Structure 1
Amino acid sequence: MKKSVKIVLAAASALPIVVAAAVPLFVNANTFRPIVESRLSAALSRKVTLGDLSLSVMKGSLVANDLAIAEDPKFGQTPFFTAKRLHIGVQMKPLIFHHELLVRSFEVDAPQIHLIRAEDGTWNFSTLSHGTDSLNTTRSTTLPDLPVDQITIKDGNAKMETLPLQKNPQVYDHLYVELEHFSLGQAFPFTVSASLPGDGKVEVSGTVGPINPQDAAFTTFNTQVKIQHLDPVAAGYVDPAAGISMIGGLDAHIASDGVNVTSDGKVHAEQLILLKGGKAAPYPIDVSYQVVHSLRSNSGQVSDLVFQTGAIAIHIKGNYQLAANVPVFDLKLLAQSVPINDLQALMPAVGVKLPNGATLKGGTLSADFTIKGSPTDNVIVGSYEIKNTKLVGYDLGSKIAGIAALGGIKTGDTTVIDISRANVRITKSGSESTKIYSVLPALGESTGSGTVSPSGALDFHLISKVTSAKGLNKVGVNLLTKLNSTSDTAKPSTATGIPISITGTAEEPVITADVNGLMKGNAATIKKKLSKLFGKKQ
């Protein structure tokens, strides 16, 4: 009796397995392939093709070996979406007994997704759900809905490119997507995660839909975006030629009403460089922003972009246009009495260089600049003013050739700057400074202009009024004043000061006072003045 019970129990346990193994013998899964292809093609308005179908009763799914979703003909013939395997979760009882296909879920393994954006701003996925006939100008406002409880994409790879093709497309690897309660006609929740080049990671979650039947790119959504260890150059977001780089993190809220995309968030940037030729900022910098982007015009308004480090905040506002996939912007930078001590981290990032071993301490910076152009070809025009700061670690007195013999300038290892201001114009051809005015107590008042080449070579010409200099001894001041005022060759523009030239580089400047030039004037007059000055006969 006990043996019989064991046999019955064993048979009962094995029966489901036997049935599951036997069902595929009586159900030809491939008979459902035209139905699945037809439904997917109708929902996506793209030709969808599947490979051989098999039935997995234990998993409750149909399995297709290959999946391909056609491309919009305007973007080429290569499939928009391909995958090696597609699992279609179905209700087994209706399938087996009534040959009725009721889909519960889709699971896609290792798909390859190719996203392309045309010069006019349209995407190759824009025509999903409304037809691919470019000659058909009438588009349906309703969709052949295909509601599914869950859609999952595992270990995908998405490549995003622009036309004309750029050198570095954006690549998202290990892509994972999960859509719940999917429906073309209503909003549904989703999560997305992917890896970026350079060990970056991106996570997006929120809701999307209903899908816009006119253009899928205008679908409404509300999302939260987090990116870790972002390298925008390696990820393809920034052209390497722009000279902009960083390793950063992003925490942002991005939402679209189908007309405008609003975004606000914060970027935590390390090793930040904002200008070609700049050096990485030594400390992290936070950049908060608020942007509104118009989907129709492919342009936007930067209502506020704030660079924050320490107690400072530098604001940038303006607008941009994504013309032919190249950002063109017109921005305004404004800084008012910003403490220089807190600027130390940001100065290298924007290309500000100081003599080797020197730092600025104390004082404030005010700046007003306009920035127009593209990331690789722009013009920066404006003015700056520095007040009450010190250049610590730089002995100006020992650096000015031509004055040392007259008693030198006593600055020690610190050069005090009461004020320094100028108008500046920066292009890819270098920078030009005009209307330079500075007051260094050790040297006096200086005015002039100069240029910096793309390689960093300095070429500045100043006139210094040493009569107010505190660094020169009295004999030196009097002598330079007399030399200047008696030179027969002195021009009106130089007759009130000593010509000073600055060459070399910002890190290794070469400063020369043209005392010899003054002495090439009327030698007899100079000799007479020197006799009076020193009380001797020459």
Structure 2
Amino acid sequence: MVPYSPPEKRRYHVQLTNGSLHSGAWRLVEIESRRFYSEANMKKTLIVVGIVLVVVLAIVAILPGMLDVNHYHDRIQAELQKQLGRQVQLGQMNLKLLPPTFKVQNAVIGEDPKYNSGKPFALAQELDVEVKLMPLLHKEVQVTSLHMVHPQLELIRGVDGSWNFSSIGRQEHPKKEKPEEEKHAIKLDRFVIDDGAVAITDQQKHQPRMEYNHIDMVLKNFAPDKPFDVTVSAHLPGAGKELAKLDWHGGPINDATMVSTPFEGTLELDQVGLSGAQQYLNSKALAGTDASISGNLKFKNEAGKVSTTGTVRMENVVAHGKKLGFPIELDYNATNDLKTELLQVSNTLVKIGSAPFVINGTVNESTVPAVANLNVTTQNASLTELVKLGEALGMTLSPGMEPSGRLSANLTARGPLSGPAVAGTLSTSQLKVKGVEANSVLITLNMVPPGEDVVKTLTGRITVKMDNGKLTGVDMAQKLGEIGKFTGTTKVADGATHVSQLTGTFDLKNGVANTNDLKAVTDAGTIGASGAASLVDQGLNMRATAVLSKQSSQQVGGNSIGGLMTTAMANRNGEIVVPVLVTGTIPSPKVTPDLTAMAEMRMNNLLPSFSNPSQFTEGLLGKGGAGGILGLGGNKQPEAAASPQQKGSNAASEAVSGISGLFGKKKK
């Protein structure tokens, strides 16, 4: 075959046979001629197509400006009302052909009259309504997508639990008109919200309207009785990524019981700052609080029960303007019954710094405020970290307390979530707090809900058991020796009172603890005490009775002690008794003689014992009165029976002797 070349440059070589063209040559000429004309036609076709395309593009560009789409304003508005099932008001309109889109200014979608909110369902500065082209050519409007710019949406849950958005696209028709209903039911390929504001009102729970700003949303494949997808995201102000994103897949919507609508999805938080969330949520409760929150939660609804699992981590935590200094982690596992509004929490782990807390129980969200029934346990938590958390939450201890050690707890919280009653047990090890040190302390408590100032409103009952500790602010052995004018009781000269065991019950009211059964076994003897200790200012106002053992009493001098009958007495067992007043503060107590108690014991002829320093069951040593005391350690002489008159006279005499003894012995 002859190689192809432009027609004007082609040369045809033919062979003459007997003076005529060979048939093959004629065939070659025919083929080349056809190719020439085909190429020419191709060029013409391309030119025509190009011209048509330019014309079409010109029409697309010019036609929307030439057409007055507002001429069809009322028809489009009416068609949109049919599909949405709501009153619709459209402002100025423009047309874009590719894709066919009506651009509407100041669009308003009305509310379902059932909810009577006084506000429209949606307001949008700009609404783009994308429609199908072919129905539009037949003067029908079939909406495929909606795009709202800076809209304001009102979401309302009614008293019956239904939401106002569930009736969009549905109309009340008799059963025979069901085909017409289906014809006008809205079906959207996409529904997009750019930088919107969403307000939520819960009429069922009588909760006030809350507004959430800067919301972006994309809804895909929405149609009645079909599943659909929703993605909601919020970009918050702040230094981090500040992204909260919800991916939701569910449906079809169950009109009869909304809570039975099946759905599942995830919530992602990526460096969301609480300070930014405060502006986003418009919540005053978050004032002075900040943290960077990241996490991922998965949820799924089955038959009205939403199960949620996932982890959340809070870093750089600031509460009430104070930096916490350690992260808080949450490993969440819960099920929420949407029908009964009961939240079931199962083995949810909250880690505060290094301190782990496990939470189980329920929260009834059907009431306002919600009611909790929760159990909280922890093992070997750091008291230092917990105190910092408490201070950040407003539960400030008295200055200088600075507790340290390890805490284990098993507590139950019942009542309003804002302030439940707390009961259970606390145990500490290696406890150190200003004025007190202990290897172990066991506390049983039953507290009513506190007020805003937790310490000042603490009310309830606490039972305390402390083993192998010491009171670092006072040396009771030394103080008792000074008061009773004896020496030799101090075993460890470190300025502290060494306690092998301390027990007692405290009734708390408004932060003040009262007790009448405090008992301590110390290196100074046994001590029984009653009175008040304030948790607000650490103040003490107590009366105590110290009883030395018989052996210790003999070691310090027995009946030769200098304070006998003035600041000290002895019971029939030969045990020295020293009543004292304890004032000052818990870190720095002041111990002084209790002269009133001295007079009462002398008049009643009853003293406590070493085994029970709080109960006055023992008589005075010896005969009684000054004579009996002076006979400390001697043999008791038999007496004749006294008449009632003599008994009364003796009692009066003993009382006078006892009172006079308080002012010192008569000089000889």
> What is the TM-score with the length of structure 1 in the denominator?
0.72
1:149 aligns with 2:199: no
Which residue is 1:3 aligned to? none
The match for 2:304 among 247, 259, 268 is 259
Quickly say closer, same or farther: Cα 1:85–1:239, change in 2 above 3 A: closer
Query: Secondary structure of the residue that 1:210 maps to in structure 2?
Result: coil
Quickly say closer, same or farther: Cα 1:441–1:329, change in 2 above 3 A: closer
Distance (Å, rounded) in 1 between the aligned partners of 2:228 and 2:300 = 14
Larger strand fraction of residues? 1
Query: Secondary structure of the residue that 1:314 maps to in structure 2?
Result: strand
Using the TM superposition, give the Cα deviation of residue 113 of structure 1 relative to its aligned residue in structure 2, in angstroms. Answer: 1.0
Q: What is the aligned-residue RMSD (CA, Å)? A: 5.0
1:308 aligns with 2:364: no
Show the 5 A alignment for 1:273-292: 281-292=324-335
Quickly say closer, same or farther: Cα 1:87–1:337, change in 2 above 3 A: same
Show the 5 A alignment for 1:332-481: 332-338=375-381, 340=383, 343=386, 346=389, 348=391, 356-357=399-400, 359-363=402-406, 365-386=407-428, 388-391=429-432, 394=434, 396=436, 415-428=437-450, 429-442=457-470, 443=497, 444=499, 445-450=501-506, 463-468=518-523, 478=548
Quickly say closer, same or farther: Cα 1:391–1:94, change in 2 above 3 A: same
Higher mean displacement: 181-190 or 524-533: 524-533
Distance (Å, rounded) in 2 between the aligned partners of 1:17 and 1:453 = 84
Higher mean displacement: 140-149 or 155-164: 140-149
Distance (Å, rounded) in 1 between the aligned partners of 2:444 and 2:344 = 29
Higher mean displacement: 431-440 or 243-252: 243-252
Which residue is 1:404 aligned to? none
Quickly say closer, same or farther: Cα 1:331–1:440, change in 2 above 3 A: same
Q: Deviations over 1:158-186 (max 9, x none)?
A: 1223447767x543222111123333332
Distance (Å, rounded) in 2 between the aligned partners of 1:240 and 1:118 = 26
Using the TM superposition, give the Cα deviation of residue 153 of structure 1 relative to its aligned residue in structure 2, in angstroms. Answer: 0.9
Which residue is 1:177 aligned to? 217
Distance (Å, rounded) in 1 between the aligned partners of 2:362 and 2:438 = 39
Which residue is 1:29 aligned to? 69
Which residue is 1:319 aligned to? 362
1:328 aligns with 2:371: yes
Distance (Å, rounded) in 1 between the aligned partners of 2:630 and 2:102 = 106
Q: Deviations over 1:414-473 (max 9, x none)?
A: x3343242323141342333222223532423333446666x666677734253469x9x
- AA at the equivalent of 1:441: G
CA contact (8 A) 1:94 1:100 kept: yes
Show the 5 A alignment for 1:474-489: 478=548
Using the TM superposition, give the Cα deviation of residue 510 of structure 1 relative to its aligned residue in structure 2, in angstroms. Answer: 5.9
**5+ long unaligned stretches in structure 2:** 1-46, 451-456, 471-496, 528-545, 554-562, 603-619, 634-663
- AA at the equivalent of 2:366: A
Using the TM superposition, give the Cα deviation of residue 290 of structure 1 relative to its aligned residue in structure 2, in angstroms. Answer: 1.5
CA contact (8 A) 2:212 2:282 kept: no
Higher mean displacement: 65-74 or 98-107: 98-107
Distance (Å, rounded) in 2 between the aligned partners of 1:201 and 1:303 = 28
Using the TM superposition, give the Cα deviation of residue 207 of structure 1 relative to its aligned residue in structure 2, in angstroms. Answer: 1.7
- AA at the equivalent of 2:201: E
Higher mean displacement: 50-59 or 21-30: 21-30
Percent identity of paired positions between Structure 1 and Structure 2: 22
Q: Deviations over 1:73-130 (max 9, x none)?
A: 33423102111221122344663x4434454422111110122345665444354455
CA contact (8 A) 1:291 1:302 kept: yes
Query: Secondary structure of the residue that 1:213 maps to in structure 2?
Result: coil
The match for 2:274 among 230, 239, 246 is 230
Using the TM superposition, give the Cα deviation of residue 336 of structure 1 relative to its aligned residue in structure 2, in angstroms. Answer: 4.3
- AA at the equivalent of 1:46: R
Distance (Å, rounded) in 1 between the aligned partners of 2:333 and 2:58 = 62
Query: Secondary structure of the residue that 1:383 maps to in structure 2?
Result: strand
Using the TM superposition, give the Cα deviation of residue 314 of structure 1 relative to its aligned residue in structure 2, in angstroms. Answer: 1.3
Distance (Å, rounded) in 2 between the aligned partners of 1:105 and 1:124 = 20
Q: Deviations over 1:19-66 (max 9, x none)?
A: 125434775534655565455444544333323432123563111223
1:116 aligns with 2:156: yes
Using the TM superposition, give the Cα deviation of residue 312 of structure 1 relative to its aligned residue in structure 2, in angstroms. Answer: 3.9
Distance (Å, rounded) in 2 between the aligned partners of 1:384 and 1:496 = 34
Using the TM superposition, give the Cα deviation of residue 284 of structure 1 relative to its aligned residue in structure 2, in angstroms. Answer: 1.4
CA contact (8 A) 2:289 2:321 kept: no
Using the TM superposition, give the Cα deviation of residue 263 of structure 1 relative to its aligned residue in structure 2, in angstroms. Answer: 1.4
Distance (Å, rounded) in 2 between the aligned partners of 1:459 and 1:75 = 56
Distance (Å, rounded) in 1 between the aligned partners of 2:328 and 2:361 = 21
Higher mean displacement: 195-204 or 417-426: 195-204
Quickly say closer, same or farther: Cα 1:422–1:18, change in 2 above 3 A: same
Q: Deviations over 1:240-279 (max 9, x none)?
A: 49x99663524211222351222122232357699xx998
Task: State how many pairs are aligned.
Answer: 488
CA contact (8 A) 2:579 2:598 kept: no
Quickly say closer, same or farther: Cα 1:457–1:162, change in 2 above 3 A: farther
Query: Secondary structure of the residue that 1:204 maps to in structure 2?
Result: strand
1:192 aligns with 2:232: yes
Show the 5 A alignment for 1:459-538: 463-468=518-523, 478=548, 509=586, 512=589, 515-517=592-594, 520-522=597-599
CA contact (8 A) 2:166 2:253 kept: no
1:125 aligns with 2:160: no
Distance (Å, rounded) in 1 between the aligned partners of 2:160 and 2:414 = 22
**5+ long unaligned stretches in structure 1:** 1-6, 397-414
Which residue is 1:409 aligned to? none
Quickly say closer, same or farther: Cα 1:531–1:197, change in 2 above 3 A: farther
> What is the TM-score with the length of structure 2 in the denominator?
0.60
Distance (Å, rounded) in 2 between the aligned partners of 1:234 and 1:499 = 59
CA contact (8 A) 2:435 2:588 kept: no
Quickly say closer, same or farther: Cα 1:347–1:440, change in 2 above 3 A: farther
Which of these two proteins has the greater Rg computed from alpha carbons?
2
- AA at the equivalent of 1:439: D
Quickly say closer, same or farther: Cα 1:425–1:349, change in 2 above 3 A: farther
Q: Deviations over 1:452-495 (max 9, x none)?
A: 666x666677734253469x9xxx995999799997899xxxx9
Distance (Å, rounded) in 2 between the aligned partners of 1:334 and 1:247 = 25
CA contact (8 A) 1:149 1:182 kept: yes
Distance (Å, rounded) in 2 between the aligned partners of 1:318 and 1:224 = 24
CA contact (8 A) 1:425 1:433 kept: yes
The match for 2:129 among 69, 82, 88 is 88
Query: Secondary structure of the residue that 2:522 maps to in structure 1?
Result: helix
Query: Secondary structure of the residue that 2:598 maps to in structure 1?
Result: coil
